[in-house]
Amino acid sequence: MNNHPELLTRHKLNPILTASNWPYPVNSVFNPAATLLANGTTLLLCRVEDRTGLSHLCAARSVDGVNDWKIDPQPTFKPDPEHFPEEIWGVEDPRITYVPELSQYAIVYTAFTRDGPGVALAITEDFHTFKRHGVIMPPEDKDATLLPHRINGLWALIHRPVSSPRAHIWISYSADLTHWGGHKLMMEARRGGWWDANKIGLSPPPIETPKGWLMMYHGVRQTAAGAIYRLGLALFDLNSPELCLKRGSQWFFGPEEPYELNGDVGNVVFPCGYTILPDGDTIHVYYGAADTSIALATGSISAMLDWLDQDG
């Protein structure tokens, strides 16, 4: 078995988006959600940190998902603490899910409350106007996404509550997107010296495949020099997504390039979104690099599933 599979290949133009591309002054752009619009355009909903230190979200659109990004001239989705006080310290790390039943996109994001991060939901048709549902999981909770359709009649939300000092991935269910219950542990952080010991979280939304929900997740390794954020793979049952079918033992993507090693928070690769190309297999993974810029890596869904067959 190849111990170092190249499941994701970095784009030669990386980082593809930086603060210097922004039409207004910002400190950093990172951790973007991604989706393909109906006309095939790639939309990234980027986390943008301005020079107050707080974050908002800003849309960037590109016809080929690599070049010629058109960035909204103003913040697309700003914190609204007057109506949603839980957004007082900003909005961060979105994940986008297109929901056919609603014919709209669900954006699940971190609302930075006075008591730490919570999970909030907004719905949009066009990424210009948004309907907020407010906080759906109270702090401390983040790294969340909605699954694109109901499972056994219920909506499903993957999220990452913190039970300090450890943090695991959970799933919860709802009939109406507002009231959540049926909370189940989906995947635990390992213990001891593992790369994903103590703290894990969902990265982009899971990919629905015939074999199950394929999840890229991050593991946070604490070292004497700080944390290292790396990515691993796991597979969950299509009809009972709390059931983990496979989990890779090794991480498959971690910080290596200078733009991933150095920045506001070095040693971080943090994807929140991807697009799947028309062949149904090629995947464009968009990730925050060192909490500073946005990078792109390309892979194959079937190669990820094959790797899990061997390493899982």
By C-beta, is 196 or 291 nearer to ligand BMA? 291
Sign of torsion over alpha carbons 254, 260, 262, 268: negative
Sign of torsion over alpha carbons 180, 288, 291, 122: negative
The two three-digit tokens of residue 57, written as one number: 């979200």
Least distance from ligand BMA to the Cβ atom of residue 290, Å: 8
Q: Which stretch binds ligand BMA (CB under 6 A): 33-41, 125-133, 264-272, 292-300?
A: 264-272
Q: Which stretch binds ligand BMA (CB under 6 A): 19-27, 83-91, 132-140, 265-273?
A: 265-273
By C-beta, is 55 or 308 nearer to ligand BMA? 55
Site residues (CB under 6 A) for ligand BMA, limited to 181-200: none
- Residue of 36, 66, 154, 265 interacting with ligand BMA (CB under 6 A): 265
31 binds ligand BMA (CB under 6 A): yes
By C-beta, is 91 or 244 nearer to ligand BMA? 91
97 binds ligand BMA (CB under 6 A): no
7 binds ligand BMA (CB under 6 A): no
By C-beta, is 93 or 311 nearer to ligand BMA? 93
By C-beta, is 180 or 270 nearer to ligand BMA? 270
By C-beta, is 103 or 223 nearer to ligand BMA? 223
Exposed, middle or buried by CB within 10 Å (0-12, 13-18, 19+), for 83? exposed
- Residue of 84, 270, 274, 287 interacting with ligand BMA (CB under 6 A): 270
Do the Cβ atoms of 259 and 15 come closer than 8 Å? yes
By C-beta, is 144 or 268 nearer to ligand BMA? 268
For the chain, the straight-line distance linking the first and the last C-alpha, in angstroms and rounded, comes to: 12
Do the Cβ atoms of 270 and 264 come closer than 8 Å? no
93 binds ligand BMA (CB under 6 A): yes
DSSP 301: H
Maximum C-alpha span of the chain: 55
**Using CA atoms, how far apart are residues 23 and 46, in angstroms rounded to an integer?**
13
- Residue of 92, 141, 242, 260 interacting with ligand BMA (CB under 6 A): 92
Do the Cβ atoms of 146 and 121 come closer than 8 Å? yes
What is the pattern of x (binds ligand BMA, CB under 6 A) and - over residues 146-165? Answer: --------------------
Binding residues for ligand BMA, how many (CB under 6 A)? 9
Site residues (CB under 6 A) for ligand BMA, limited to 200-239: 229
268 binds ligand BMA (CB under 6 A): yes
Burial 113-132 (b: 16+ CB within 10 A, else e): beeebbbbbbbbeebeebeb
Q: For the residues of 97-129, what is the DSSP string, one character each?
A: EEETTTTEEEEEEEEEETTEEEEEEEEESSSSS
Q: Which stretch binds ligand BMA (CB under 6 A): 33-41, 208-216, 254-262, 263-271?
A: 263-271
Give the nearest residue (CB) to ligand BMA: 265
Residue 151, helix vs strand vs coil: strand
Do the Cβ atoms of 248 and 259 come closer than 8 Å? no
Residues that bind ligand BMA (CB under 6 A): 31, 92-93, 229, 265, 268, 270, 288, 291
